[in-house]
Amino acid sequence: MPPLVTTLGSHSALQILKGAHDEGLPCAVVATRGRDALYRRYPFIDEVIAVDRYADFEGLQEQLGARGSVIVPHGSFVAYLGEAVNARIRLPYYGSREVLRWEGDRALQRRWLEAADIPMPRELEDPAAIDEWPVLVKTDGAAGGSGYFLANSRESLERQLAGLGDLGYTIQSYVVGVTLYVHYFQSAMRDRLEILSMDRRYETNVDAIGRLPMAAQAELEPQPSYVVVGNSPLVLRESMLEEAYRMGERVVASARELMGDGLWGPFCLETIITPDMRFQVIEISCRIVAGTNLFVDGAPYAALFFDEPMSTGRRIARELREAEEAGRLDEILSGPLPAAGTDTQT
């Protein structure tokens, strides 16, 4: 039975479902009533299942499981279903299970990336010992960078930290550079790492502050915020592409060493490029990221591997199809999602 590609109606669902359709796989989307209307507009979606609440997804498992459903997770799974429901889902899903635990815990993620020799902004544990400014304070549970703040001096840092109360936080050195998100795909079937596309996020208001003349900036003193509102495409200087590949390969290799089942499928390194043309990695996301929505019809980098338009969504479906044809589907599917804090953003 071919896998029934199933996802939740949000985030990058259209791309995932279109990809399944283009690869000849059946597909279904589960969406809340009201949001289901969007998905009924597109004839490539075989089935739209409307539910009253996202949590009702749990009750559909038996019906979907009997039809060979494979879940393709995206950034909304934890955001909309909640950790408890995610943990109880028994349907197989595409991707590694253990990797989510490493990704969701900031300390584990740092350990993993450091083991892979990935350059990252310094984490500054003791506010009193900071000798490098500016710093960025990331409050725990801040969604989409909306609870972050900058400090350019000890006085400013202490004043702002005092306002946090009991809220936990992490302090990082603030990297001034161009943000670039690299969309990788680790193929188990072809045993290779592909860079399919890249984007940069458009964040409000930080990406707009540069439009103010300096005098207005000085007068208004705008506090930057990092709320993502969209994504735009970017291609990288070709001389930096090999390093982007090497970073991805190192991350995959250390996942193999650190985690039982490693890392495969789509993942993204979120980088900031500094004026000396070096990457600083601020985060890894171990699934399809929303920036790939720019490339439903293919991307310049994907075109270097494939002679037809290849989005990340379609690449996932291609992998599922090849695995099914080779009788190896089990190798690339995992059991229930772990309960512990998985990232919900990208």
Residues at the interface with ligand AMP (CB under 6 A): 10-11, 75-76, 79, 121, 136, 144-145, 148, 172, 174-175, 179, 201, 203, 226, 228, 231, 270, 272, 282-283, 290, 344-346
Q: Looking at residue 106, what DSSP letter applies?
A: H
Is the backbone of residue 191 left (phi > 0), alpha (psi -120 to 50) or beta?
left
Alpha-carbon torsion (177, 183, 187, 192), positive or negative:
negative
Phi, psi for residue 215 in degrees, rounded to 5: -60, -40
Q: How far is the CB of 109 from ligand AMP (least distance, A)?
A: 10
Q: How far is the CB of 189 from ligand AMP (least distance, A)?
A: 28
* Residue closer to ligand AMP, measured from CB, 103 or 270: 270
Q: Looking at residue 301, what DSSP letter applies?
A: T
* Residue closer to ligand AMP, measured from CB, 226 or 323: 226
* Residue closer to ligand AMP, measured from CB, 61 or 173: 173
**Strands 47-51 and 27-32, sheet pairing:** parallel
Q: How far is the CB of 113 from ligand AMP (least distance, A)?
A: 13
Q: How far is the CB of 227 from ligand AMP (least distance, A)?
A: 9
Q: How far is the CB of 207 from ligand AMP (least distance, A)?
A: 8
CB count in 10 Å sphere of residue 53: 11
Residues 128, 134, 140: CA angle, nearest 5 degrees:
70
* Residue closer to ligand AMP, measured from CB, 188 or 272: 272
Whether omega before 205 lies within 30 degrees of 0, making that bond cis, reads yes
Q: With b meaning 16 or more CB within 10 Å and e meaning fewer, what string describes 65-102?
A: eeebbbbbbbbbbbbbbebebbeebebbbbbbbbbbbb
Q: How far is the CB of 37 from ligand AMP (least distance, A)?
A: 15
How many Å apart are CA 262 and CA 135, to the nearest integer?
Answer: 33
* Residue closer to ligand AMP, measured from CB, 70 or 206: 206
Q: How far is the CB of 74 from ligand AMP (least distance, A)?
A: 7
Residues in a beta bridge with 198: 182
Q: How far is the CB of 289 from ligand AMP (least distance, A)?
A: 7
Mapping DSSP to helix (H, G, I), strand (E, B) and coil, where does residue 332 land?
Answer: helix
* Residue closer to ligand AMP, measured from CB, 63 or 146: 146
Q: Are 99 and 262 within 8 A, CB to CB?
A: yes
Q: Are 169 and 139 within 8 A, CB to CB?
A: yes
Residue with tokens 């495409």: 233
* Residue closer to ligand AMP, measured from CB, 40 or 190: 40
* Residue closer to ligand AMP, measured from CB, 121 or 262: 121
Determine whether 16 is exposed, middle or buried from the number of CB atoms within 10 Å of its CB (0-12, 13-18, 19+). Answer: buried
